[in-house]
Structure 1
Amino acid sequence: MTRPQYDMTVSARWMITVERDGEVLENHAIAIKNGRIEAIIPANQLAAISATQHVDLPHHVLMPGLINLHGHSAMTLLRGLADDKALMDWLNNHIWPAEGKHVHDDFVFDGALIAMAEMIRGGTTTINDMYFYHAAMVRAGLASGMRTFVGCSILEFPTNYGANADDYISKSLAERREFLGEELVTFTLAPHAPYTVSDDTFRKVAMLAEQEDMLIHCHIHETADEVEGSVKERQQRPLARLKELGLLSPRLIAAHMVHLNDEEIELVARHGVSVAHNPASNMKLASGIAPVKKMLDAGVTVGIGTDGAASNNKLDMLADTRLTALLAKVGTLDPTAVPAATAIRMATLNGAKALGIDDKVGSIAIGKQADLIALDLSAIETAPAFDPISHVVYAAGREQVTHTWVKGEALLNNRILTTLDEAALMTKAADWRNRILAR
């Protein structure tokens, strides 16, 4: 009798499937063929199958790759440039002027590569990005092997990339056509925020999203000032305005959503809007604590994002997953508000649902693509290990991520990047530091 043949098998001490909250398979293995999970079996049955490669992880947690639902990868080159500022001061007086001097194709490509190396080493397999020079972002994604959602920023005012909203849109759609067919690349429409985008542009974005079958990615209700400014200028809150303009739908991923009342949470749930929660960025910019528990209780799909390294200052999804659980507890004075299993689901399957790829990734299940990570829990910092789900959220750090796979291809193997040259990226980072300081 011929044994089934696979490309790779991976066995682990624990497997967090995320198929059901709290589900942990002990001493199990998965079999992968053509980038997909073909079988999940007890590790003691591995002798019954054959594989080209076997990876044995005797002290590890195997789990789905983390999905960063909101980021600005290229802004890694601005990490630490303007810390401890309020959001609008940070944007208007520091970040936007620096971007005006430096942001071009090479800035985006190099910054995105450095960001992707950091994310891969921290267990992130998918990034939902928002920036400019989208072809450069695609090239970085293809070079790294990450699953890359390329958010095409749209504003009313000029930048190095575009002259006005129509120019941003036309250039974005042209770049999208250039890369149609790349399985790991998806373009989204990314109007920056209600305070930088006009009614006419929002209407156009809503229409194009339907015509082109694209997601929409937008900063919404990030600060109290944003909401108050809208009420003063337009006599309505931003979400009410976006509803009138046709933006609220399952296509919309709303980043931040810190300042919401109960009626707005119900509105978001009713329209199927997904939310990208960014706890570290919200804390650092003093934006506030998003009502995550209320949103989850209302049925809103809430994922987790890091935001950019200029406002975090690290692209560490494990750290942001921990903050998600802790902030929800202190914000509600309820220690059960967001349990560890819920936080992991937010960082994996919820992110996949928001991006419309939960049929492909986000959990460990037969038929899904093998976007996976492994964390070594054998160190003193994670001993003893009673509950691997609790450990991943509350005790483990990104330095314990040993392996990262996308579609079964190793991007990180025993802490070594396989698709990117770390030394070369360090040289690029030093060069950009010198160029930015010189200006």
Structure 2
Amino acid sequence: MPILILARWVFVQDASDPAPRRVDDAAVLVRHGVIVEIGPAADLRARYPAAPTFGDGTQALLPGLINAHHHSNAITHIQHGIEDGVLEPWITGNPRMRWTDPRLRTLVAAGRLLQTGVTAVVDMASVGNAHQSGHDDLSARLHAYEESGIRGHLAGGVSFYSRLVHREDEAFVATLPGDLARRVRAHFLDADKGSEQDYLALMDSLIAQASGMKRARAWYGPPGPQWVGDALMVAIADAAARYDTGIQTHVQESLYERLEAERALGKSMTAHLKDIGVLSPRISFAHAVWSSENDVEILAETGAAVSHNPSSNLRLRSGVAPLNGFLAGGVTTGLGMDGTTLGDDEDMFAEIRLAHRLHRTPRIGSPAPTLAQTFGLATTGGAKLLRREDELGRIAPGMAADLVLVNVQRLSWPYIAPEADPFAVVLQRAKQGDVDTVIVDGEVVLKDGWPTRFDLKSVAAELAEQVSAVSYDQDFADLYAELRPHIEAWYAAWEVPEMHPWIAHNSRT
């Protein structure tokens, strides 16, 4: 039986449209998980009187939002007591986070994403090794995504190199005092991570599991080229092509990642990855903050995509990515929350607004993304990054019925002018709590603000009870506190050349 979704404002978009257009007092007819027709609500209700209806006709209907880069921590770094900092020393201290069950954490993360209108996500999930325990961790996450009802693209990865600093672990350890060097080596460098072949076999198994699932998909998720090496990046690209699946990796996120590539390779990491033949539309870069004009040309030429993560870039002092350059250069660009949003709340509407406002340059006539462009990052851009632009990211006949009903009562209170643009009102005022209903593939997976496939409150309570019983690793915390000043000094000694920013926000003179 078909279903009808009723809304005051439906934002539809054909493939050739640069921006969504509004249809008032409309209904969307869905059959077998696909949008069949969009038309006046009264007409469609009269023609399909027995069809179940969702929405009360007062809401806004949006396409499902796509979170193009995420880490499903469920309990954030701030909640774990880990403050923000520069990426390199910050990431080394992440093992201070208490262990959490992979299924529970993924369900909680998926529930929070559904509550903010996200219907598809790329989750980069790095695990500690390529042995059975790493496999079991990723397998549990994959099944949790399938259980949740969201479209989860799980990008599993393992780091084999650069455990302490980029590419120069041995040289770095040699600078440490004797006893600290011994303890650091034992903790970071001597652990058995498995081999690169173990990782490829692990991914073979994960992809085979995902092949029998409806919503969840397995991607390759090498944490970063400097963490896995060229040989494995090439092997991953070959395997991803063979399986017709995706790859996501962190590239040029921080200043020091950019400097490291220039020091070691004599070129940017983007240029290097092109040279070794791994760039294609199936690979996406998380962050890409330190992209040059040449990098933008390479991305556009090869079809490689970028997930723009403005909140995370600001929180970890990585900088401001050249979004205007990506858009002008024709780079496929999505929007990601990275598990590290500005308000620590994983609100996709807030991330859209941040992307919109952060990149408006101060001079009249200089670049400034439109609301339609920044909304497109979270919809059509994300769909293209997923290589699913023919089914996701738009409300149009023939597209998958991934839909979000947003209550507009709070947005309109106490008054809304009749000349106000509803599209602008929704994008500039909606919050996570305004999402009422989420539909994925024609199935209601969030109703009245809560997931339908699992009890989010119970799962979160179970996760909280579990993690509260995990002992804090004080020994590692002490080791990290002693190690961190040495990591900071290592990078602080690097020479930083004169830079020419994409955007001039102000002037000291």
What TM-score do you get using the length of structure 2 for normalisation? 0.79
Distance 1:228 1:153 in 2: 24
Q: Who is 1:109 aligned against?
A: 103
Equivalent positions of 1:4-153 (< 5 A) are 6-19=1-14, 20=17, 21-46=19-44, 47-74=46-73, 76=75, 78-81=77-80, 82-92=82-92, 94-95=93-94, 97-98=95-96, 102=99, 107-131=101-125, 132=127, 133-153=137-157
The superposition leaves residues 328-384 of structure 1 with CA deviations (integer Å, 9 ceiling, x where unpaired) of 115888686111111111101111111011111110111111110011111156641
> Is the partner of 2:56 in helix, strand or coil?
strand
Q: Who is 1:3 aligned against?
A: none
Q: Are the equivalent residues in 2 in contact too, given 1:154–1:191 (CA < 8 A)? A: yes
Q: Shift of residue 310 of structure 1?
A: 8.7
Distance 1:363 1:51 in 2: 26
The superposition leaves residues 13-50 of structure 1 with CA deviations (integer Å, 9 ceiling, x where unpaired) of 00112433041111111111111111111112121223
Distance verdict in 2 for CA 1:432–1:88, change over 3 Å = farther
Q: In structure 1, what residue type is equivalent to 2:310?
A: P
Q: Are the equivalent residues in 2 in contact too, given 1:230–1:236 (CA < 8 A)? A: yes
> Is the partner of 1:195 in helix, strand or coil?
helix
- Normalized per residue, which structure has more strand? 1
Name which of structure 1's ranges 76-85 and 133-142 shifts more when overlaid on structure 2.
76-85
Equivalent positions of 1:116-195 (< 5 A) are 116-131=110-125, 132=127, 133-157=137-161, 162-195=193-226
Q: Shift of residue 185 of structure 1?
A: 1.8
Q: Shift of residue 277 of structure 1?
A: 0.5
Q: Are the equivalent residues in 2 in contact too, given 1:73–1:309 (CA < 8 A)? A: no
Q: Shift of residue 77 of structure 1?
A: 5.7
Equivalent positions of 1:242-257 (< 5 A) are 242-257=273-288
Distance 1:331 1:243 in 2: 34
Q: In structure 2, what residue type is equivalent to 1:121?
A: Q
Distance 1:356 1:113 in 2: 25
Distance 1:162 1:184 in 2: 30
Does the alignment pair 1:306 with 2:337?
yes
Name which of structure 1's ranges 148-157 and 117-126 shifts more when overlaid on structure 2.
148-157
Distance 1:282 1:202 in 2: 24
Distance 2:114 2:346 in 1: 10
Distance 1:333 1:320 in 2: 24
Q: In structure 1, what residue type is equivalent to 2:4?
A: T
Name which of structure 1's ranges 420-429 and 290-299 shifts more when overlaid on structure 2.
420-429
Name which of structure 1's ranges 220-229 and 171-180 shifts more when overlaid on structure 2.
171-180
Q: Who is 1:241 aligned against?
A: 272
Q: In structure 1, what residue type is equivalent to 2:86?
A: A
Distance 1:371 1:321 in 2: 18
Name which of structure 1's ranges 193-202 and 335-344 shifts more when overlaid on structure 2.
335-344
> Is the partner of 2:277 in helix, strand or coil?
coil
Q: In structure 2, what residue type is equivalent to 1:147?
A: R
Q: In structure 2, what residue type is equivalent to 1:61?
A: A
Equivalent positions of 1:273-352 (< 5 A) are 273-309=304-340, 313-330=344-361, 337-352=368-383
Q: Shift of residue 67 of structure 1?
A: 0.5
1:364 to 395, 406, 409: 395
Computed over aligned residues only, the root mean square deviation of the Cα atoms, in angstroms, reads 2.3
Q: In structure 2, what residue type is equivalent to 1:219?
A: H
Percent of pairs identical after alignment?
28
Distance verdict in 2 for CA 1:423–1:40, change over 3 Å = same
Q: Are the equivalent residues in 1 in contact too, given 2:64–2:118 (CA < 8 A)? A: yes
Distance 2:247 2:139 in 1: 18
Distance 1:384 1:310 in 2: 29
The alignment of Structure 1 onto Structure 2 pairs a total of residues equal to 428
Distance 1:284 1:407 in 2: 34
Q: In structure 1, what residue type is equivalent to 2:153?
A: F
Distance 1:136 1:123 in 2: 24
Distance verdict in 2 for CA 1:210–1:112, change over 3 Å = same
Q: Who is 1:417 aligned against?
A: 451
Name which of structure 1's ranges 358-367 and 276-285 shifts more when overlaid on structure 2.
358-367
Name which of structure 1's ranges 195-204 and 44-53 shifts more when overlaid on structure 2.
44-53
Distance verdict in 2 for CA 1:275–1:161, change over 3 Å = farther
Structure 1 outlier segments of 4+, above 3 Å: 74-80, 157-162, 309-312, 330-336, 380-383, 435-439
Distance verdict in 2 for CA 1:89–1:432, change over 3 Å = farther
Does the alignment pair 1:393 with 2:427?
yes
Q: Are the equivalent residues in 1 in contact too, given 2:4–2:27 (CA < 8 A)? A: yes
Q: Are the equivalent residues in 1 in contact too, given 2:253–2:288 (CA < 8 A)? A: yes
Name which of structure 1's ranges 158-167 and 114-123 shifts more when overlaid on structure 2.
158-167
Distance 1:301 1:125 in 2: 19
Q: Who is 1:427 aligned against?
A: 461
1:217 to 248, 255, 260: 248
Any unmatched runs of 5+ in structure 1?
1-5
Q: Are the equivalent residues in 2 in contact too, given 1:64–1:372 (CA < 8 A)? A: yes
> Is the partner of 2:53 in helix, strand or coil?
strand
Distance 1:161 1:426 in 2: 32
Q: Are the equivalent residues in 1 in contact too, given 2:311–2:341 (CA < 8 A)? A: no
Any unmatched runs of 5+ in structure 2?
128-136, 164-187, 474-509
Distance verdict in 2 for CA 1:248–1:334, change over 3 Å = farther
> Is the partner of 2:285 in helix, strand or coil?
strand
Q: In structure 2, what residue type is equivalent to 1:293?
A: N
Distance 2:221 2:239 in 1: 12
Distance 1:335 1:61 in 2: 32
Q: Shift of residue 114 of structure 1?
A: 0.7
Distance 1:311 1:56 in 2: 31
Distance verdict in 2 for CA 1:215–1:312, change over 3 Å = farther
